[in-house]
């Protein structure tokens, strides 16, 4: 899926720590399949920063591998479940959900205004949901975790994060050393303790080179005790 991110700068590297909390689907990096939505947001962001808006294009790989690697939530349309989820995420006192990727409609300015009315008792949930039936189609995908970024690639084929680059290099090395296909390499790497440590943002492992991390993988005996390390 070709998706777009609107901002005031081109996104060469995704840094989840710079993403704002309490958005529709929580803290994360947001894209949309509708370029006009991204253009509108880029215009807003550009105006705020006294510059021109910029659209960055990405390819999102929505595949069985994505569902295997990540915990994914899909909202196919505005619904009561969607509304409850957005309200929860917009509450500064609520706990962050545990999804890696969430896809669904956007709470744009008009809907946000009605959410405020709903929360303050000026419209009931039934009436609000009936209004949403006639709302224009909108779309967004939120990437909430480091491993979710493995499913997102920039159109110029440069790595969107150090994490994605590290994983790509380790998979290629593993395929070569073990003479296995990509799916088997993915099973080995993504089920290992090494990857679990790498995907946790509060560890320092992702700051090491991919070669050093591959060496740790070669000593990881949790699932595959015979992976050799060849420099």
Domain ranges of the chain: 2-154, 162-218
Q: Which among 5, 6, 8 has a CA at the least distance from the CA of 49?
A: 8
End-to-end CA distance of the chain: 36
- Which one, of 152, 124, 141, lies nearest residue 24 by Cα? 141
Beta-carbon count within 10 A of 120 CB: 8
pLDDT tens string 63-115: 777 888 899 999 999 999 999 999 999 888 887 899 999 999 998 888 888 88
Q: pLDDT digits over 37-68, tens only?
A: 999 999 999 999 999 999 999 999 887 778 88
User: Distance between CA atoms of 199 and 201, rounded to whole angstroms?
Assistant: 6
């Amino acid at each position: 899926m070709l998706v777009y991110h609107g901002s005031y700068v081109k996104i060469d590297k995704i840094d989840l720590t710079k993403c704002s909390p309490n958005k529709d689907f929580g803290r994360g990096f947001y894209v949309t399949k509708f370029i006009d939505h991204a253009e509108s947001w880029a215009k807003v962001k550009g105006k705020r920063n006294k510059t021109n808006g910029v659209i960055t294009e990405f390819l999102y790989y929505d595949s069985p591998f994505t569902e295997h690697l990540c915990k994914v939530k899909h909202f196919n349309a505005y619904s009561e479940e969607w509304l409850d989820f957005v309200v929860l995420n917009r509450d500064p006192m609520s706990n962050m959900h545990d999804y890696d990727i969430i896809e669904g409609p956007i709470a744009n300015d008009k809907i946000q205004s009605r959410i405020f009315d709903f929360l303050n008792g000026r419209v009931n949930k039934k009436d609000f949901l009936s209004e949403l039936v006639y709302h224009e189609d909108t779309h967004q995908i939120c990437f909430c975790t480091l491993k979710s970024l493995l499913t997102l690639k920039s159109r110029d084929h440069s790595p969107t994060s150090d994490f994605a680059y590290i994983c790509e290099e380790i998979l290629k090395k593993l395929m070569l050393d073990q003479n296995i296909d990509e799916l088997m390499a993915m099973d080995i790497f993504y089920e290992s303790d090494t990857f679990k440590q790498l995907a946790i943002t509060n560890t320092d492992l992702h700051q090491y080179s991919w070669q050093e991390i591959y060496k740790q993988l070669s000593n990881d005996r949790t699932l595959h005790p015979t992976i050799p390390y060849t420099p």
